[in-house]
């Protein structure tokens, strides 16, 4: 599914800066198989400016030796009004960190002094595609607006990218924002369809596998006690509201590791089993907007609609969780 490459290999994370995005970025920053060149940011879970601040917050907490460039991109979907998930991720998209104080009463997460790059995310994506070509993996954790815009800007350059690993969609299970659609595809189905038609090798880490990788509140709190650090405390803090949402709405006091699993697949593709399918994303349906429709019919002639996505359908959740703990 992913070509054998020398390590560390260049990657870019494209994100909308929510809670599970933060956990995914922590994994990537701590993974010696990656050279995280940049984090490109867009609106989705929260507006693009707050999302960029959230990414900078995570980098400030992890303190990597070589911090990646952080660049802001699209402020809204291609054709539709913005739609966010502040009710799930907190008003700041990161669990409302202003609530937390240290023992001496000072703010645990004071205002940052760093700013995002002046470069635009679309320019960053295109420059990286040109420079690294097939060696470059993009891990897309939010709506696909930035990537679709880069394709619209210079399709030939973007087609040099080795693979895009997409957290989005659902093949055999219901959606999570509607009966038909997963959140990222629902927010910008037009962008998702452009990416489906891009000709770039795509891996879809959708709800089929993401919902099989739960993390309980108890596990997070126990980990923070057993491994006290700035990072473990941040994970406990930022996931509090996110996990409470699942407790109150689904009866599970924890969360699903949607975005971390996408990074996990980038690190170790053998964590998942995949099926190569032809996929389209519904852009006009009254009730099915954002639905990822995979053609799983038994067809002898696939020339008219050849497979364009490797869709993940099963995951070794235990092995993935082991990898998660190793990298946080």
- pLDDT tens digit string along 22-70? 999 999 999 999 999 999 999 998 999 999 999 999 999 999 999 999 9
| Inter-residue contact 160 to 150 (CB < 8 Å) | no
The reply to whether 213 falls in a domain is yes
Domain residues for 248?
A: 9-327
**Using one digit for the tens of pLDDT, what is the confidence trace for 239-286?**
999 999 999 988 999 999 999 999 999 999 999 999 999 999 999 999
Q: How far apart are the C-alpha atoms of 125 and 51, rounded to whole Å?
A: 17
3-state SS class at 244: helix
Q: Where are the beta strands (DSSP E) in 9-130?
A: 9-15, 34-41, 69-72
- pLDDT one-digit tens code per residue, 286-308: 999 999 999 988 776 667 789 99
Per-residue pLDDT at 154: 98
Other Cβ atoms within 10 Å of 114 Cβ, number: 11
Percent of the chain with pLDDT over 90: 87
Query: Using CA atoms, how far apart are residues 87 and 242, in angstroms rounded to an integer?
Result: 9
Instruction: Give Dmax (Cα) for the chain.
Output: 69
Residue 1 lies in a domain: no
pLDDT, tens digit, 9 for 90 and up, residues 110-120 = 999 899 999 99
**Residue 2 located in a structural domain:** no
Residue 3 domain-assigned?
no
Cα separation, 126 vs 147, in Å, equals 9
Residues 41 and 145: their CA atoms lie apart, in Å, by 10
Q: What's the mean pLDDT in 179-201?
A: 96
Closest residue by Cα to residue 38 from 28, 49, 53, 51: 28
pLDDT by residue (tens digit) across 140-169? 999 999 999 999 999 999 999 999 999 999
Q: Which of 66, 89, 227, 258 is catalytic?
A: 258
Specify if 159 maps to a domain: yes
- Does the predicted model carry a pTM greater than 0.85? yes
Token reading at 134: 């097939």
Q: Is residue 4 part of a domain?
A: no
HSE-CB of 153 using CA atoms within 13 angstroms: 18
Domain presence at residue 129: yes
- Cα separation of the two ends of the chain: 26
Question: Does residue 205 contact residue 312 with C-beta atoms inside 8 Å?
Answer: yes
The question of whether 49 is a catalytic residue gets the answer: no
Q: Is 328 helix (H, G, I), strand (E, B) or coil?
A: coil
Average pLDDT in the 179-196 region? 96
Place of tokens 């509201």: 241
Q: What percent of the chain has pLDDT over 70?
A: 97
What CATH number is given to the structural domain containing 283?
3.90.245.10
Mean pLDDT in the chain? 93
Residues linked to residue 12 through DSSP beta bridges, in sequence order: 38, 138
Structural domains counted in the chain: 1
pLDDT at residue number 130: 97
pLDDT in tens, 201-211: 999 999 999 99
């Amino acid at each position: 599914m992913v070509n054998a490459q020398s390590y560390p290999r260049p990657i870019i994370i494209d994100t909308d800066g929510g809670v599970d995005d933060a956990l995914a970025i922590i994994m990537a920053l701590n993974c010696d198989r990656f050279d995280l060149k940049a984090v490109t940011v867009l609106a989705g879970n929260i507006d693009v400016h707050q999302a960029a601040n959230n990414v900078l917050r995570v980098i400030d907490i992890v303190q990597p030796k070589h911090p990646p460039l952080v660049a802001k991109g699209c402020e809204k979907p291609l054709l539709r009004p913005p739609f966010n998930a502040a009710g799930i991720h907190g008003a700041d998209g990161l669990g409302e960190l202003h609530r937390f104080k240290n023992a001496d009463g000072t703010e645990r997460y004071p205002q940052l002094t760093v700013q995002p790059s002046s470069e635009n995310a679309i320019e960053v994506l295109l420059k990286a595609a040109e420079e690294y070509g097939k060696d470059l993996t993009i891990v897309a954790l939010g709506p696909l607006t930035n990537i679709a815009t880069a394709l619209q800007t210079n399709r030939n350059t973007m087609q040099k990218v080795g693979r895009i690993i997409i957290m989005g969609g659902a093949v055999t299970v219901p959606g999570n924002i509607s009966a038909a659609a997963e959140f990222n595809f629902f927010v910008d189905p037009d962008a998702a369809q452009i990416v489906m038609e891009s000709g770039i090798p795509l891996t879809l880490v959708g709800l089929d596998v993401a919902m099989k990788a739960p993390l309980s509140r108890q596990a997070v709190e126990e980990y923070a006690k057993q491994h006290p650090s700035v990072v473990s405390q941040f994970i406990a803090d930022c996931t509090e509201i996110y996990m409470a949402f699942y407790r109150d709405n689904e009866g599970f006091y924890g969360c699903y590791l949607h975005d971390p699993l996408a990074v996990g697949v980038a690190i170790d593709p053998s964590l998942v089993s995949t099926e190569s399918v032809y996929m389209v994303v519904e852009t006009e349906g009254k009730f099915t907007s954002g639905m990822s429709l995979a053609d799983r019919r038994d067809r002898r002639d696939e020339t008219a609609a050849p497979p364009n996505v490797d869709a993940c359908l099963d995951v070794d959740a235990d092995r993935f969780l082991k990898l998660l703990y190793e990298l946080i």
